[in-house]
A = this chain, B = another copy of it.
Amino acid sequence: MILILVFIQNDNIMFPAEVFVQRRKRLKELVGKGVILFLGNKEVAMNYAANNYPYRQDSSFLYYFGMDMPGLAGMIDCEQGSETIYGSDPTLEDIIWVGAQEPLQEKALKAGITRVKPLERLDGDVFRVIAHNREVHYLPPYREQRRLQLAYYDNLKYEEVDRNASEALIRAVAAQRSVKDAHELEEMEKTMTEVTREAYNKATGLIRPGSFEYNVAGALEGAVLGKNCRMAYPIICTINGQTLHNHHYGNELKKGQLLLIDAGAESPLRYATDITRTYPVDGKFTSQQKEIYKIVLDAQLEAIQAIKPGRPYYEVHMIAATAITRGLKELRLMKGDVGDAVQHGAHALFFPHGIGHMIGLDVHDMEDIGEDYIGYDQEFKRSEQFGTAYLRLAKRLQQGYVVTVEPGIYFIDPLIDKWHSEGRYRDFIDYREVNKYRGFGGIRIEDNIIVTEKGHKVIGKPIPKEIEEVEKLIGK
């Protein structure tokens, strides 16, 4: 490898310029006054300065400016209305190494921006705004490099930057980005059907006893890369589905086991997809697995069915929790009144997470700007109950929201041990029965759902999830 420096050129077709113009226009109205500063992401060194991770632009920067390259900043003046992109063109010397590049001026025009200034001018312009006692709105940073730059502008200690982030800007961005337009929905649909779905197809062909988790994960990621996309988040591909945070791919697949895959492609314009399926390693669920799978699938279908504008997502979560509790009661793992059990949170032994989250330019959409701004409001406050506390989205759904629906049932040894020893929920949980399921692993099923005018629509051509369909795929 002879690389010295790297410029990234992303020639993905952007949305029409008018889309970005309208988004910024609305943003100016929502924020009202002051200047809005969006710092684009820089490159990040992997193991030395010239060996970078794959470049990822900031999602809000993409939303308002669409320009997918490092070294940019955008400034929007709410009162004067001006919009400026700061950045630099490669020099003639650079072009020898990186080839001809579209000038920044032309790139900016594609986002409807005519004012382009050299990046060196940014600092002076920011300080001038501050000198005029005008507010500089910025979003909370999630990388040290940006936090540092904001600390410099704001004359703050590094640690103080986050709490000076602009609530007005956060609320405006959350309101805009939460509602997806037709362009965004089309991008997500296309990526789901043509990339994520195809990648699952390739991966399931490698599931069989004797394969390793990394063989399956590699096939999946390779299929996504081979379509000119990347993963929206690190793949989960594990026989230990009960270990919820699992990025380890070292295990051999064995007959009788379940393989849980949670993965999704990021579209060329950086929109996420997020799918989970659970497969029997040898192509045949055991009867115990079938029973649990059926409960999860029914809970998912029931939750999806409930999605429509005006419905609080908290209710969707509770519908799934209730369906799971009902199912587990039939299997005698749970007992007592189903409604009471759910109200008290007993189901969280098996389903200890939320039913889903918003998805868009981020897989957990806008998590960087503050989960409570995205998922909660005056009407819905975050629960403090174990399990439901992890619900990322509770408020009423609106047309244009896109959410995941991903119930699961897991048998988590340390959690069972803890609750059992503490005698928790003895009225609702039969620990003797639960012990018979130790080593079962976990099952989760997830799809991405658009909230439509009257109800909902699952994104993409269906990815098989019925028991008979799933069994047929394995090793084929």
Contact = CB atoms under 8 A, between A and B. Distances in A.
Contacts of A99: 240, 243, 246
A404 interface: yes
A245 interface: yes
Contacts of A264: 1
Given A50-B364, A222-B226, A97 B244 contact: yes
Contact of A59 (B47, B96, B274): B47
Interface in A433-476: 444, 446
Contacts of A11: 248, 250
Nearest to A57: B47
Contacts of A222: 218-219, 221-223, 225-226
Contacts of A418: 92, 96
A223 B214 CA distance: 10
B274 A1 contact: yes
The winner among A5, A361, A415 for most chain B CB atoms within 10 A is A415
Contacts of A414: 92, 95-96, 100
Contacts of A217: 225-226
A228 interface: yes
Interface string A158-177: 10000000000000000000
A142 interface: yes
A149 to B, nearest CB: 10
Contacts of A145: 144
A215 interface: yes
Contact of A97 (B54, B144, B243): B243
Contacts of A380: none
Contacts of A233: 1, 3, 51
Contacts of A7: 245
A315 interface: no
Nearest to A264: B1
Nearest to A404: B1
Interface of A: 1-11, 44-54, 56, 58-59, 92, 95-100, 142-145, 148, 158, 212, 214-215, 217-219, 221-228, 233-234, 236, 240, 243-250, 262, 264, 274, 276, 352-354, 361-364, 367-368, 390, 404, 406, 408, 412, 414-415, 418, 444, 446
15 contacts: A1-B236, A3-B236, A11-B248, A11-B250, A45-B368, A47-B368, A51-B363, A52-B234, A54-B234, A96-B412, A144-B145, A215-B226, A217-B226, A218-B223, A218-B228
